[in-house]
A and B are shown apart, each in its own frame.
Chain A
Amino acid sequence: MADRRTLQAEMISAHSGPAPGYGMQRDLEVCKLVDTTTCIGCKACEVACAEWNDLPFSPTTFDNTYQTMPETRWNFWNLIKFNEHQNPDGTIQWLMRKDQCMHCADPGCLAACPADGAIVKYANGIVDFNQENCIGCEFCVSGCPFNIPRFNPETKRVYKCTLCSDRVGEGLEPACIKACPTGCLKFGTKDDMKFIGEERAKQLRENFGWQNAGVYDPQSVGGTHVIYVLHDATDPERYGDLPKNPQIPWSYTVWKWLFKPVLGTFALFGFLGVLFHYVTSGPRRTQPEPPEKDGADANINV
């Protein structure tokens, strides 16, 4: 995708009019649309994810709900979160939300990560972990507002959904999209997914009585490359810890880019300071110092 865009002719010498085709390609950014209103909780996407990414088997714990396991794991990146929600009028809602990395436009994991090249964000919006550069500090866990990165104690590296960057790079849709039987998962450009999501939300508002239906694309992290259609966009928390206003701690933004280098330099001044002292006032010697060679007493002001 990126290649086609960069090899697109922008200007052509001695050509009349604009370069043919320039500006024709639309959005470069990809996006996954998850419509929670049509998810039936079949877990086909969970299986497809584990299958395509060759994730080793992970024993599950059954907790009397329709959820495969309590949380995503280093070898289980895609989990349908099940929540039973009671509406004020007493009716019950079964909420299914596909939990995975949101591929944030401002990824908190990447801001927090201290290792060069352990996390990359591609121009198409995919945020990918490169385990060969990861030092296993788990700062990404603290930086991520969606509680996504998972540590493998054996390899001491961190793992999460790749948005099937390997498939997308080949022009294929992610494995979960391919497996979904209801069409609740869609994949395409961010513009298109946003458009389809908004259309669906409008439909829910106008035809199904979900007055607060809307699209979840939180701007506090610059938007995400996985977006949800929610029955009630004013209360994303009810879908199992989907934060209303996801935030990256300031210590990963301001501190890292400003104070780290500044204070590092400051500590170095300790070294420069003593060097300066040595060449200017020099060492303090035990008293009395021996007289200077010409016989003058060097210690007049004892």
Chain B
Amino acid sequence: MPISTSSAVQRFDDKARESFESVGQTTVYRGELLRHPVYTRLLHWMVALFFFLALFTGFAIYLPWLFRWFTPIFGGGPLSRVMHPWFGVGFVFFFGLQALNWLQPMIWTAADSNWTRNMGKIVSGEAKMDPPDTGFFNAGQKIQFWEIVGGCVAYLITGIILWAGARTFGRISVAISYVVHDISALIMLGGIFIHIYESTFGQPGTFQSMIRGAVSEAWAWTFHPAWYKQVAGRDPQQACEEARRQMTTGSKP
């Protein structure tokens, strides 16, 4: 079974991707397509874990009067403060690996500009299927990806300044960094709500791509038609129509 459908380029993490495949497993049933290999899934959930650890410990520092009921979960304010930077480092580290893993499929293309122009129709559900040229990731996913890449850079720079503190970097750089750090967190938090929604309730069938690694063919031709065409070798529109005929007549293939 091919390990990745997203990139055929020889890369530094090819070895890791292979060895993770032998540790975990991905079963692709008939009528399904491989979406995310074990390596990608593992990275994704490490990113999510460290993101939320950093987020929740960050609350203690962001608005403590609002989250004083919450911080005891992490052992109180001082411990939250000690752990927060380490969780942040974990988040940036795993997302860094993920970013390298996904760099190639995340490159912006003309199809993405097209998707963005039709975003209103897609989000409102007026367009039942994504535009035919939508590839492995759609423009919305790419925007979120690059936002997180930018956010990670901002976190890292400002976070190190806040970590070492005013004694090392001077009081003004700390005062500026903390505002940038806050804004970066808020943008990402707003984006994560949308992300979690879209990958669970908003688009049923998506969640299993990060759990089992496979998606149904119907999911693929609906939301990522160009990718479907590439890996299944069939025309997405035709495949969908065929499935509809079978469904309405009740006949099995």
**Given contacts A142-B174, A281-B125, are A266 and B190 in contact (CB under 8 A)?**
yes
**Given contacts A156-B78, A263-B182, are A138 and B204 in contact (CB under 8 A)?**
no
Contacting pair B165 A274 (CB below 8 A): no
**Is B203 an interface position by the 8 A CB rule?**
yes
Task: Please give, as numbers and ranges, the residues of chain A lying within 8 Å of B90 by CB-CB distance.
Answer: none
Contacting pair A274 B167 (CB below 8 A): no
Q: Which of B43-80 contact A (CB under 8 A)?
A: 60-66, 68, 77-78, 80
Task: Please give, as numbers and ranges, the residues of chain A lying within 8 Å of B178 by CB-CB distance.
Answer: 139, 142, 251
Task: Please give, as numbers and ranges, the residues of chain B lying within 8 Å of A277 by CB-CB distance.
Answer: 123, 197, 202
Contacting pair A116 B64 (CB below 8 A): yes
The stretch of B13-21, B91-99, B240-248 that contacts the partner chain:
B240-248
Task: Please give, as numbers and ranges, the residues of chain A lying within 8 Å of B196 by CB-CB distance.
Answer: 274
**Is B105 an interface position by the 8 A CB rule?**
no
**Is B29 an interface position by the 8 A CB rule?**
no
Task: Please give, as numbers and ranges, the residues of chain B lying within 8 Å of A291 by CB-CB distance.
Answer: 247-248
Contacting pair A284 B179 (CB below 8 A): no
Partner of A288, one of B63, B165, B191, B243: B243
Contacting pair B248 A141 (CB below 8 A): no
Complex Cα spacing A115 to B172, Å: 20
Partner of A114, one of B61, B124, B190: B61
Q: Which of A121-154 contact B (CB under 8 A)?
A: 133-139, 141-145, 147, 151
Closest chain B CB from A196 CB (angstroms)? 32
The stretch of A10-18, A86-94, A294-302 that contacts the partner chain:
A294-302
**Is B193 an interface position by the 8 A CB rule?**
yes
Contacting pair B167 A287 (CB below 8 A): no
Complex Cα spacing A137 to B71, Å: 15
Contacting pair A263 B82 (CB below 8 A): no
Q: Closest B-chain residue to A131, C-beta based?
A: B78
Task: Please give, as numbers and ranges, the residues of chain A lying within 8 Å of B201 by CB-CB distance.
Answer: 278, 283
Contacting pair B175 A143 (CB below 8 A): yes
Contact with A along B203-218 (1 / 0, CB 8 A): 1110000000000101
Complex Cα spacing A149 to B182, Å: 23
B contacts with A, residue count (CB < 8 A): 60
Q: Closest A-chain residue to B243, C-beta based?
A: A288
Complex Cα spacing A139 to B62, Å: 12
**Inter-chain contact total with CB atoms closer than 8 Å:** 153
Complex Cα spacing A267 to B183, Å: 10
Q: Closest A-chain residue to B164, C-beta based?
A: A138
**Is B166 an interface position by the 8 A CB rule?**
yes
Q: Closest A-chain residue to B77, C-beta based?
A: A135
Closest chain B CB from A149 CB (angstroms)? 9
Closest chain A CB from B153 CB (angstroms)? 20
Q: Closest A-chain residue to B245, C-beta based?
A: A288
Residue among B178, B192, B203, B218 having the largest count of chain A Cβ atoms under 10 Å: B178
> How many interface residues does chain A have, given as a range?
35 or more
Q: Closest A-chain residue to B197, C-beta based?
A: A274
Complex Cα spacing A145 to B175, Å: 12
**Is B222 an interface position by the 8 A CB rule?**
yes
Contact with A along B166-188 (1 / 0, CB 8 A): 11000110111011001100110
Task: Please give, as numbers and ranges, the residues of chain A lying within 8 Å of B179 by CB-CB distance.
Answer: 251, 255
Closest chain B CB from A246 CB (angstroms)? 11
**Is A285 an interface position by the 8 A CB rule?**
yes
Complex Cα spacing A252 to B179, Å: 9
Q: Closest B-chain residue to A282, C-beta based?
A: B125
Contacting pair B186 A288 (CB below 8 A): no
**Is A52 an interface position by the 8 A CB rule?**
no
Q: Closest B-chain residue to A298, C-beta based?
A: B128
Residue among A144, A145, A156, A251 having the largest count of chain B Cβ atoms under 10 Å: A251
Closest chain A CB from B180 CB (angstroms)? 10
Q: Closest B-chain residue to A250, C-beta based?
A: B175
Closest chain A CB from B244 CB (angstroms)? 4
Task: Please give, as numbers and ranges, the residues of chain A lying within 8 Å of B167 by CB-CB distance.
Answer: 138, 141, 151
Contacting pair B81 A267 (CB below 8 A): no
Contacting pair B63 A273 (CB below 8 A): no
**Is B102 an interface position by the 8 A CB rule?**
no
Partner of A270, one of B62, B190, B216: B190
Contact with A along B107-138 (1 / 0, CB 8 A): 00000000000000011111011000000000
Q: List 13 A-B contacts (CB under 8 A).
A: A135-B78, A141-B174, A142-B172, A147-B171, A251-B176, A260-B62, A267-B189, A270-B194, A278-B197, A282-B125, A283-B202, A286-B205, A287-B221
- What is the interface of chain A, defined by CB distance below 8 A to chain B? 112, 114-116, 133-139, 141-145, 147, 151, 156-157, 249, 251-252, 255, 260-261, 263-264, 266-267, 269-271, 273-274, 277-278, 281-288, 290-291, 297, 299, 301-302
Closest 6 CB pairs of A and B: A270-B190, A249-B175, A270-B193, A135-B77, A142-B174, A274-B197
Q: Other CB < 8 Å A-B pairs besides A135-B61, A139-B174, A252-B175, 8 of them?
A: A115-B77, A135-B78, A135-B80, A143-B171, A264-B63, A267-B190, A285-B222, A286-B204
